[in-house]
Amino acid sequence: MNGNKVQVKNEQYINYELIETLRLTKFPKPGEIILYGTAGFRTRAELLDHVAFTMGILSVLRSKKKNAAIGIMITASHNPENDNGLKLVDPSGEMLESSWEKIATDLVNIDDRELVPQLKKIIKELDINETLPATVILGRDTRISSPQLAMSAIQGINACQATLKDFEIVTTPQLHYLVASTNANGSYGDPSLFGYYQKLSVAFKNIRGNRTDNGNYFGKLQLDAANGVGALAVKQFQEHLNGFIDIDVYNNGNGQLNHKCGADYVKIEQCPPSNLPVISNMRCVSIDGDADRIVYYYTDEENKFHLLDGDRIATLIAEYFKELLLESQLILNVGLVQTAYANGGSTDYITNKLKIPVACVPTGVKHLHHKALEFDIGIYFEANGHGTIVFKDSATELIRQAAKNESLSENKREAAKKLSQVIDVINQTVGDALSDMLLVETILHAKKWNLNDWEQSYRDLPNKQLKVKVLDRNAITTMDAERKCVLPEGLQTTIDQLVMRYSKGRSFVRPSGTEDIVRVYAECENKADVEKLAVQVGVAVFNLANGVGQKPVLSKM
């Protein structure tokens, strides 16, 4: 994770004959249809060679169209180890433009002999200049299938004579950073892994000063790295942090990826991961396989587990930013973006106590990120711990100027200086578990809080998630950011009636994007009621989606 391999092509042209030969002989399409979803293509690894090859080609077309470097990340995040996936990253480090998701899906699933004609059609319709140079930035996680898929992508890139920058093993957020910094010509940071570690760690140390402990905050934590690529990144970070925080790393790559460990496991199972020693009140962190999700937790003296998830992280950040803005007296519009999965306790706290506007969008990081861009400072986190903060350029400039303005009082200038430094701790391109961890540690240190202090800010409502097996997930359609069910007819009315039976009851359903299941979310004032509500809504989903007379199949998320 210390360097990159660069292959520069002086002649930029697409070798259609080679592409056709490779697709027919080496990368034929298997029988299954594979869709580009919210996280790109994701399925069993053995089905993805032709996807990687084809996306290598499409990344070059995208680069020529945008006249900028495009990224390819090979990962399946929190999925089991035998899965893998691949997604493209746009010039500013953001997710691939939606219209190109359909292009990617069509191109991957087209008949092998139609690939070249379809490529030529795309080039013509989108007015892509084939003579322009193209650059592709490639990264992969630590899955055993990732090197092979990387080679497949490289063959597609090489068939188009594009420049390749292969960073090999990186976290997903690092790949997003590398794409953004490459295209920003130095304004976002040095386009290297060293630049990534240096930017975040220097800002973190500048804010913290020399004090490791502060009040109830102690500079030591346990980190569960899900046996993924994040374990390697944490090791590199430790070299840059110089003892400013003491991190004990568990599930560091010696075990099975994401198996009984990682942020997703901890969030769903509501318990500590395997192989992490339970120490009362120790601050613990779990990240996922590609290091873009993070959750905090601790176990108290009575062996009770306490989870501080993405909702908690979002409210902590929002409160801290509001405090700094009040101290600096800078007038900036701060907003927090959530999905329907956000706990009602957090929404109530943000809206009524912090007085910060909350927007709700459909599930998926691209929806949250897009909405967050509407605010001067947009904060977004999914409950699963995936999120970040984005700043408008005008907001960044205002903060930087105030930090240097000698005419301001010392208190105002210091608050603006902290905001300016915080900006550099954040990876604005995408949710970054390690960047988010440094930000949370910064805030807890500043507030002199331990995790119990943080948890006391508001009470989470008990909640439950279930999966319901259905014959056809398309029988369920939703609206209002997935909070209301449109079809099947009568289901939303039934949910509304069930919810009314319970204090602070809330429930919604949404179909999976990849399999024939429907996800049920429920929350209530007390735990016994939420168990009942979740099952009742699950049975209603099953009966109205499948027809009465069959036995419902319900399982935990």
418, 207 Cβ separation under 8 angstroms: yes
Residue of 216, 177, 160 whose CA lies nearest to 89: 177
Identify the bridge partners of residue 285 per DSSP, sorted by sequence position: 223, 296
- Distance set, CA 536 to CA 162, 472, 501, 511 (Å): 55, 20, 11, 17
Residue 417 one-letter amino acid: K
Angle of CA points 382, 231, 205, to nearest 5°? 80
The rounded distance, in Å, linking the Cα atoms of 286 and 264 is: 8
Given the residues 59, 63, 77, 328, select the one marked as catalytic: 77
305, 297 Cβ separation under 8 angstroms: yes
Three-class DSSP category at 419: helix
Q: Which long-range contacts (CB under 8 A, 24 or more apart) does 353-359 make?
A: 353/458, 354/315, 354/318, 354/319, 354/322, 356/318, 356/322, 359/335
Q: Count CB-CB contacts under 10 A for residue 385.
A: 30
Cα radius of gyration (the chain) = 24
106 sits in which H/E element? helix 98-109
The rounded distance, in Å, linking the Cα atoms of 152 and 146 is: 10
The rounded distance, in Å, linking the Cα atoms of 500 and 506 is: 8
Whether residue 420 lies in the annotated active site? no
Sheet-wide strand order for 284-287: 246-250, 220-224, 284-287, 294-299, 305-308
259, 272 Cβ separation under 8 angstroms: no
- Distance set, CA 367 to CA 337, 387, 435 (Å): 9, 11, 21
Q: Count CB-CB contacts under 10 A for residue 206.
A: 15
- Distance set, CA 415 to CA 12, 146, 325 (Å): 50, 44, 7
Residue 219 neighbours by CB under 8 Å, 6+ apart: 212, 213, 244, 245, 246, 441, 445
Three-class DSSP category at 39: coil
Residue with tokens 């991190």: 247
Catalytic residues: 77
